Copies of this chain bind each other. A is one copy, B any other.
Amino acid sequence: MIIILKNGQSPEQINELHDYLKQYNVKISEIQGEQTTIWGLVGDTTKIDIATIQAKDVVEDIRRVSEPYKIANRKFHPDDTVLEIGGNTVGGGHFNVIAGPCSVESEEQVIAVAKEVKKSGAKFLRGGAFKPRTSPYAFQGLHDEGLKYLLEAKKETGLPIVTEIMSLAHLDLFNDVDVIQVGARNMQNFELLKELGHCDKPILLKRGLANTLEEFLMSAEYIMAGGNTQVIFCERGIRTFETMTRNTLDLSAIPLLKHYSHLPVIVDPSHATGIPWLVEPLSLAAIACGADGLMIEVHNNPKLALCDGAQSLTPAQFDAVMKKVTAQAEFSGKTL
């Protein structure tokens, strides 16, 4: 950590800051400049709050040299995290596709889609029972009924289930779910993250619409700090000025997250763009730059979908995409 001091400050103020910092057991070295003095702090600075230092009169500027996350940090855990989930292996060179409808609408629908996506090579079934919707008047999901249908579909097909949690109050309902998804709008719902840190299920953590990669890493750290180290990142597009796509898919996130962290990284091209014919090219691109998996929306009747049908593939379209996805994953050296 580097602190830049203003010149011309009283020795008392400088001593006050010096004492404040010493309680963190860091070593402080000084460089004397013409207009500024620089302090270099050596030691564990994770617990030092940048804003608190910045508020002090004597401080011109401050910056971290090392990353503020530890358990999620590849520096301290050089090997890839590999998760075993319902018979599938995630991370460490393995490749998995999660597919299914945006929202669970009926038992028939979700079982039908599950069978189709399994046939095409999906390894997990996704489906929303609790749906975050911008409008209070839009369909909000079937809730516990929806979870029941997903588990029926799992019984029929053997596919492990990935589904989104929207509130701590529902946690008990997720006992038989295989992977709990945290949606983009909850990436910084810190109370939820903390609670998920105490459960023993893999968490699929989606990137927030306006969250930096460092914040994304810190949200994983929140969960991991509670003891649950089974976190999967999911890049799903960020909000920019571009209006032709719903969001801007940030594929640089894949190599960057894999560089700074040891956790698996998957990509959701369906939500990122909102345009079904972009799912194929962006899926291939995601694999080519290192994604450990994909999450793709498939609906057996997108035209009647109660939610976000616009971006869903039909089972036939999904099957065609999967052929190319499989070939690219093999080409990129992934284990299928």
Give A residues with C-beta under 8 Å from B. 2, 4, 16, 20, 29-36, 38, 40, 42-43, 46-47, 49, 51-52, 54-57, 60-61, 63, 65-66, 68, 130, 132-140, 166-169, 185-186, 188-194, 208-210, 212-215, 218, 221-222, 225-226, 238-245, 248-252, 254-256, 259, 272-273, 277-278, 281-282, 284-290, 302-312, 327-328, 331-332
The answer for the CA separation of A110 and B51 in the assembled complex, in Å, is 19
User: How far in angstroms is the closest Cβ of chain B from A91?
Assistant: 17
Between-chain CB contacts (< 8 Å), 25 pairs? A4-B65, A52-B307, A54-B309, A55-B312, A132-B190, A135-B218, A135-B221, A136-B222, A137-B225, A140-B190, A168-B168, A212-B242, A213-B244, A242-B250, A249-B251, A249-B252, A251-B251, A252-B273, A252-B282, A255-B281, A256-B278, A282-B289, A285-B286, A287-B288, A288-B288
User: How far in angstroms is the closest Cβ of chain B from A193?
Assistant: 8
Contacts of A259 in B (CB 8 A): 277
Q: Residue on B with the closest CB to A197?
A: B136
User: How far in angstroms is the closest Cβ of chain B from A79?
Assistant: 19
Interface pair A252/B278, CB less than 8 Å apart: yes
Interface pair B55/A244, CB less than 8 Å apart: no
The answer for the CA separation of A286 and B281 in the assembled complex, in Å, is 9
Interface pair A31/B34, CB less than 8 Å apart: no
Interface pair B33/A218, CB less than 8 Å apart: no
Contacts of A306 in B (CB 8 A): 49, 52
Contacts of A305 in B (CB 8 A): 51-52, 55
The answer for the CA separation of A331 and B135 in the assembled complex, in Å, is 39
Contacts of A132 in B (CB 8 A): 188, 190
